[in-house]
Structure 1
Amino acid sequence: MKYFKFSYIAILVFLSQILFGQTLSSNLSNTTLALGEVGEYKLKIDNLQAKDVVAAPKNELLPFHFEVVSDSISKQQNEYFRVVKFQVFEEGTFKIPALDIKIGDQIQKTIPYEIEVINTAKKDDVINDIMKNKQVDLGIKDYWELYKFYILAALVVIGIIFLIVYYIKYGRKVKGSPKVLTNQTLKDLDRLKKKNYIQNGNYRMYYVELIDITREFLTKQYKIPANVLLTDDLIDYMKGSNIISEQNEKVIEEIFQRGDLVKFAKTIPNSDMMEKDFNDIKTMVQRSTKDVEAEQLRTMN
C-alpha cells in the first residue's frame, strides 16, 4: 500500500513537471568549425507560461573568444527562442560553459559544449597570381585619385587649426565683452518676464530665478564669485572691491536681501514691488558697462 502511494505521488510530480514546468534546451550547429566559419548556438524554452526570462544581455551570451555576428531573441507567451550566430578567429578548443538562465523565480542551466576550431589552409599551399604584374605610368589625375582623401584631410586639419587660433585670438574676446554679456543677461530677464510669475503671484520662484540670473551676470561681468557667496558675504565683497558703482551696489544689496526674505517665507512682496525690482535689475545690468570701462581705465593707470 505504501509503495502504491509513493508511486502515485511520484507520478503526480512527474506529470506536474511535464504540464507546468518549463523545458530549457540548447543546440549547437557544429562542434568543429573552420577559422571564421559562422556557427549557430540556439537556446529554447518551452511552456514558458508568460514568465520573465533573465539571461546575459544581447551580444554577451557567449565567452569573449566568440565574435558575435548576430543575436536574435524571440519571446512569446509560451516560448522563448534565441539564436546567436558567431565566428572564432583562433585555432584551438573553446568551451561554451553551462549558462544560468533564470525563468521566473527558478534558475536552470544549459548543456556545456566544446568547439574545435581548425585552420583549413595548409602551410605548403602555394598562392599563384592569376596574371603577371604590369607596370603602369601614372598621371596627375591618377595621383589625385590615389591621394585626394589625404589632401582633403590635410586641408580640413589646417582649416580647423586656423579656426582654433582665430577663436583663441578674437572669438573669446568678443563673446566675453561687457556689451555681449549685458545683451545676453537682458535676454535672460525677458525670458523670466514671459513666465508671468508676477501675474500668477508665484513670488518665490520669481525671486529665485531673478537672483540666479543676477548672480551669473555679476560673476561673468565683474569677475567676482557671486555664484558661490552668500548674500551678506557678497555685499561685503562688493563694498571692499570697489568694482561696482555705489548706485548698482545699492540695487543689488536691496533686492538680494529682499529675495532671501521671500525665499524663507519671511515676507510676501506685492506685484508693484516685484515689477520695481525687475526694472531696477534691468537698469543695473544696462549701467554695468560703465563700471567695467571705469575699472579697465583704473587698472591701466
Structure 2
Amino acid sequence: MRVRKKYTLLNSFIILLVLIFSSAFNLCAQNITVEAALEKQEILIGDQIVLNLKLLQPINETVEFPVFNEKLTDTIEIISQSKFDTTDLKNGSVLIQKNILITAFDSGFYKISPIAFLHKSKNSTDTLKTKPFWLKVNTVQLDTTNVIKDIKAPYRAPIGFYEILPWALGVIGLAIIGFIIIYIIRKIKRKEPIFRRFRPVEPAHIIALRELEKLKNDKLWQHEKIKDYYTRLTDIIRIYLSNRYAIKTLECTSEEILQSLKQSEFDDDKSFSILKDLFQTSGLVKFAKFKPMSEENERCLIGAYEFVDRTKLIIIENNEGTDSVNEKVVETVKN
C-alpha cells in the first residue's frame, strides 16, 4: 500500500510539471500570430497576384520566415519577393510583413498548404503555420457563337530613321567608290594624270602688272573714257595693295588706305608719294569732273607701274647640297 501511494504521488507530480510547461508555452505562443492572405481569390491564366505574409511577435522572440525558391507549389510560380517591412507597435511587439508576387499558367482550383514559420526559444524550437487557402485560376472564355476567323497576318511596324541610316550610308559609299573607279578609268584612257596639280597662287605684282597691261591696251583715255580709265586704274592698285599687304582696300577711301599703309610700317616715301598723287588725280576726275591732259593720264599709268615694281614681293630660293631651303625675302626695289 505504501509503495502504491508513492507511485501515485510521483505520477501526480510529473503530470503537474507537464501542465505547467504546456501552459507557459501556450501563453507564449498566443502572443505570436502568423497569417497569409491573397489580395483576391481568382485570377486569369498568366495574371499576377500578391501573397501577403504577416508575423506579429514580441520584440524579444525569434521567428524565422519561410524561404521560397522559384515556386510556391508545383503550379504556382514566384515572380518576385519584396523586402521585409517591420513596424514597431510601441507595445513590446513588432509587425513584420513580406509580399510575394505569384502567377499560374494552368487553369484549375489550387490549394496552398499552410506556410510554416520557425519559432526558436532557449529550450525548444516550434513551427507556427498559417491557415490553408485556395486560388482559382480561370481560362479566357471563348465566344463559340462567333464565326471562327483565320489567323491575322504579322503586324509590320513602321521603319525608323536609324534602321534606314546604315543602308543609306552604304548606298552613298558605293556611289562614291563607283565614281572614283569611273574617274580613274577615264583618266587612264585619256592618258591624263589622275591627280591634278593645283597651280600656285600668282604673286600680287604679277596680277597687277597683267591688269595694267590690259588697261594700257584698251586705250580708254584715248577714246575719251577718262572716268572709266581712272576707275580701273585705282581698282587695280587697290586689289594689289589688298593682296600684297593684306589690308582692306576695296571698302575704304583713299585717305583710309594711305593711313593703313602708314600703320603697316610702310617706309618707302617715294612709293607713298606716287600712290598719293595717283589717288588725288583719280579723285578729281571721278568727283570733280577734272579732265587731265594726255601727259597726265600717261604719267599716272607709268606711276602705277613704278609703284607695283618698287613694292613687289620677291621670292628667293636657296639650294645647298641635297637640302632645299625656300626663304621668302621682302625686297623693295628702288631706282
Shorter chain as denominator, the TM-score bin is 0.3 to 0.5
* Greater fraction of residues in helix: 1
Larger radius of gyration: 2
Q: TM-score by structure 2 length?
A: 0.36
Q: Which has the higher contact order (CA 8 A, sep 6+)?
A: 1
